[in-house]
Structure 1
Amino acid sequence: MKPFCFADGQIVPTASATLHPTDLGLIRGYGIFDFFRTVDYKPLFLDNYLDRFIASAERTFIPLPYSREELTEVIYELIEKNDLKEGGIRMVLSGGISENHFSPGEGKLFIFAESLIFPSEEKYQNGIKLLTLEYVRPVAEIKTTNYALAVWHSAGWKKQGAEDVLYHQGNYISESSRSNFFLVKNGELITPDSNILLGITRKYVMELAGGAHVRPVTMQEIRDADEAFITSTTKVLLPVTQIDDLKIGSGKPGPVSLGLLEKFRQKVGGLALTDK
């Protein structure tokens, strides 16, 4: 964490930020968040992230007592105060203190500035492994703070040499725990259409690719795929070369994945993905 954050309606030392112990964010795990990068002191895709954050607050019935303009002003002030040329901004809105300890109350807004750690260059060159897991995130279209299963499960991924999990329900794939998922077949992108968070990086990658087939994706299609990759703010576009014991395509990152990654680097600029 960087030295300064936004809490209690003002910019304060990050170490002094507090949350009441009966806040629903703590006792029920109920809250929302969003996270985006800064590149050369500018927040990347800010309008898209604010759209999603404000919509998430409305859909979770948590009051957000700040306008888009006020949020934007705070974000830019935090970037300057923390000298955040290349880094991350995390917005968190807690579920609030509730009279019945269950219904959403007046949420408390925090905005933090953070350093970023990208995956190693080796992972971009060699690809990563995912493990399938039958699960659908609650209210998957909203970026809630409920990552209990993923956090609990993560120790097991590492023991099996995996980067993350790939969620599915029955025969249909949805997403990774913190990323969107794509297949490539005959040069065309395919990505699931339901039980997913509509990722901002996902959206931008589809624009770079000139579109994608957004539709139900089956487990069988993994076996027939030429390439696969995941997208997120902190991973950008990370090739997937193995799912469980199955090798994807040639077992190496493919030309479509690497080409889109290079396009993203050229368009966005900023922090090199090889930085650790």
Structure 2
Amino acid sequence: MAYCYFKGEVVDESKASISIHNVGVQRGFGIFDLFRGRQGKPVFMEDHLDRFDRSQQFLGLDWLIEKEEIREAVDALQRKNRFKESAFKLMLLGDGSETEKTLKPFFYITNSDLSNHKNPDSAAIILHEYLREYPEIKSINYLTSNYLHRKRMKANAIDIIYHKDGFISEASRSNVFVVRDGEMITPKGNILAGITRKNILSIANDITKIHVQELSLADFKSADEIFITSTLKEVLPIIEVDGVKVGDGRIGSISTQVIKRFSDHLHQ
């Protein structure tokens, strides 16, 4: 059993329900954000709240969910669920009908136990030509990612890397870094500004030079190392792309250094 924040109250998840007529559900009109709780404390919460705020402003609903309400709700859930390792997912859907002039926000927070969550040491990915609509916001539109689920599972891949017109943008649920000639590159445009990515750019710039720029598909495929970053995956080395080894097929030295640096940063 877990508790969630729903309609302004902390309630048992089994007591929470959404109308089948909700426009967010019917039309996929909504945004979300997700951050972790470690040892009873939220991690990078303020960065996530800033991004959530930008996303909800984009929706143009009747009013905004205030950060203080979210902070208080997260604190209440942490005390109620008492998970040492967890994920907080903020969900915001448009509520109302398409005939109304404006839509009001339908907001809730789930809190999931991550005590058994463990990332693999490395993983494979697949490529797909696609550019997300409104990539700067964390939309609930995962149609393409879900459409490719069977293909991803068949390839035993952890994620899908998107590219368009010969350039890499992001993974379906992660940001992308490559290492070429001893230096890191991460795509600049058409991406969601990941919080883990933001921290890597801040704390790992003395490991090697980091370039935030366009990344061609050709340069991606010939990279010496690749890793992806996200809240749940953290820093995950990629050793295979579409069945082809990255470099020598092993975790690279720079990826190893970034993993350690990020881990140290989390436990400061």
What TM-score do you get using the length of structure 2 for normalisation? 0.93
1:126-165 matches, within 5 Å, as 127-165=122-160
Give me the whole-angstrom Cα distance separating, in 1, the residues matched to 2:118 and 2:102. 36
Q: 1:202 to 1:63 in 2, by over 3 A?
A: farther
**In 2 relative to 1, CA 22–41 (structure 1 residues): closer, same or farther, beyond 3 Å?**
same
The answer to whether the 8 Å contact 1:24/1:104 transfers is: no
Secondary structure of the 1:22 match is: coil
Taking a change above 3 Å as real, the CA distance of residues 186 and 63 of structure 1, as seen in their structure-2 partners, is: farther
The alignment's C-alpha RMSD in Å is: 1.7
Offset of residue 36 of structure 1: 0.3
Instruction: Say if 1:154 and 1:164, in contact at 8 Å, map to a contact too.
Output: no
Structure with greater proportional strand content: 2
Alignment counterpart, residue 227 of structure 2, candidates 215, 226, 229:
229
Q: CA deviation at 1:71?
A: 1.3
Structure 1 residue 205, shift from structure 2 partner: 1.2
Q: Is the Cα–Cα contact under 8 Å of residues 39 and 269 in structure 1 kept in the other structure?
A: no
| Mapped pair 1:207 → 2:202 | yes
Percent sequence identity is: 34
Structure 1's unaligned 5+ residue stretches are 271-276
What residue is the counterpart of 2:90 in the other structure? 91
Q: Deviations over 1:5-30 (max 9, x none)?
A: 11111111111111121112211011
Distance 2:31 2:251 in 1: 34
Q: Aligned equivalents of 1:66 and 1:34: distance in 2?
A: 13
Contact preservation (8 Å) 2:57, 2:64: no
Contact 2:96–2:103 under 8 Å retained in 1 = yes
Q: Where in structure 2 are there 5+ consecutive unaligned residues?
A: none
**Counterparts of 1:158 and 1:119 in 2: how far apart (Å)?**
18
Q: Deviations over 1:2-57 (max 9, x none)?
A: 52111111111111111121112211011000000011111100110000001100
1:56 is aligned with what amino acid?
Answer: S
Q: What is the number of residues matched between the two proteins? A: 264
1:64-213 to structure 2, matched below 5 A, reads: 64-100=63-99, 105-116=103-114, 118-120=117-119, 123-124=120-121, 127-210=122-205, 212-213=210-211
| Aligned mates of 1:91, 1:248 — CA distance in 2 | 35
Change in CA separation of 1:63 and 1:234 when aligned onto 2, cut-off 3 Å:
farther
CA distance in 2 between counterparts of 1:164 and 1:108 reads 29
Alpha-carbon deviation of 1:119?
4.5
Distance (whole Å) between structure 1 residues aligned to residue 168 and residue 264 of structure 2: 30
Q: TM-score, normalised by structure 1?
A: 0.90
Judge which range, 64-73 or 79-88, deviates more: 64-73
Query: Residues 176-232 of structure 1: CA distance to partner in whole angstroms, max 9, x if unpaired?
Result: 110001101122210111111000001111112116211110011023311000000
CA shift, 1:154, in A, is: 1.0
Q: Structure 2: how far apart are the matches of 1:206 and 1:235? A: 17
Could you say which residue in structure 2 is the equivalent of 1:7?
6
Deviations 1:135-189 (A, max 9, x none): 1111111001111121121121111222121100020001111000110112221
Higher relative contact order (CA 8 A, sep 6+): 1
Deviation of the 1:129 alpha carbon: 1.3
2:225 touches 2:238 (CA, 8 Å); kept in 1?
Answer: yes
